[in-house]
Amino acid sequence: MITINTTLSILLYAIATGLLLKQWLVVKSGSNKLPLYIAVAAVIFHAFTLLTVIFTSQGVDIGFFSALTFTAWLMATLLVIASFSLPIGCLGLLVYPFALVTLLFRAFSEQQHVLTDALVPGLQTHILFSLLAYSVLSIAVAQAILLYIQDKYLHNKHPSGFLQSLPSLETMQILLFRIIALGVIVLTISLLSGFIYLDDMFAQHLVHKTILSLIAWAVFVVLLIGHYKFGWRGKIAIKWSLSGFTLLMLAYFGSKFVIELVLP
């Protein structure tokens, strides 16, 4: 059901995206904070939407679309907070439309997976850090995509307003690896909390998530080691980032999609 909060959040995400497109592609200026302020309002209304769709009278809904829009909200919130001090506001071109789409999917879907029993605090911690790790590393992938576009423009010698408004290639790469490092820390906490609070991380219904998450963690760790020890960057960093993110996406949402939507 489309609520007032959902409608306002969708409209604000759309406006913020449109202003970013104008700011980064036409005006060639990165100083305007208006898209960021509008995005702040969008994530606030998005949060109010989550309070009603996730925390229901029957229990906590952890269904596919609820989890997806919660993750999108985390991504948008983290991006908004970081954008006040870091030059990564352009990532809203990818993050805000994603949040908008997840809200639409959740509004028009009746699919739910309600937990009627209260989650123990340890398990709540594991779930929160899992979604937080996915959100941070999703932002890293968005950064990697923009870095790829920037690198391609530079090699083809076709500067544009979009390219000129981005930070330097070196700054973009530094930001990418800082975000990845933060994501790895959060993912490590997520995995450790899972091994501590879950009875068996390799149980039949969890083994694929555990293995894929561990492989993804290893991919990002190898990437960080390769960068700081051997100077990996550019296309190598982008390929490893996308590979690690794909594994995490399959671990967090791949099986959930199949179990809850394909084979209900």
Q: What is the rounded average pLDDT for all residues in the chain?
A: 85
pLDDT tens digit sequence for 212-251: 999 999 999 999 999 999 998 888 888 999 999 999 998 8
pLDDT at 228: 92
154-187 pLDDT, tens digit per residue, is: 776 665 555 666 777 888 889 999 999 999 999 9
Q: What's residue 127's pLDDT?
A: 84
| pLDDT band, very low/low/confident/very high, at 1 (cuts 50, 70, 90) | low
Residue with more model confidence, 109 or 81:
81
Q: Residues 64-68: what's their mean pLDDT?
A: 87
Q: Show Cβ contacts of residue 34 under 8 Å, excluding neighbours closer than 6 positions.
A: 19
Least confident of 28-32, 44-48, 76-80, 260-264: 28-32
Does this model's pTM top 0.95? My answer is no
Q: Quick check: 31 pLDDT over 60? A: no
Q: What is the pLDDT of residue 259?
A: 66
Q: Where are the domains of the chain?
A: 1-118, 120-264
Is residue 140 predicted with pLDDT exceeding 90?
Answer: yes
Predicted confidence (pLDDT) per residue in 91-120, tens digit: 999 999 999 999 999 988 887 767 666 667
Q: How confident is the model at residue 89 (pLDDT cuts 50, 70, 90)?
A: confident
Task: Determine the pLDDT at residue 260.
Answer: 65
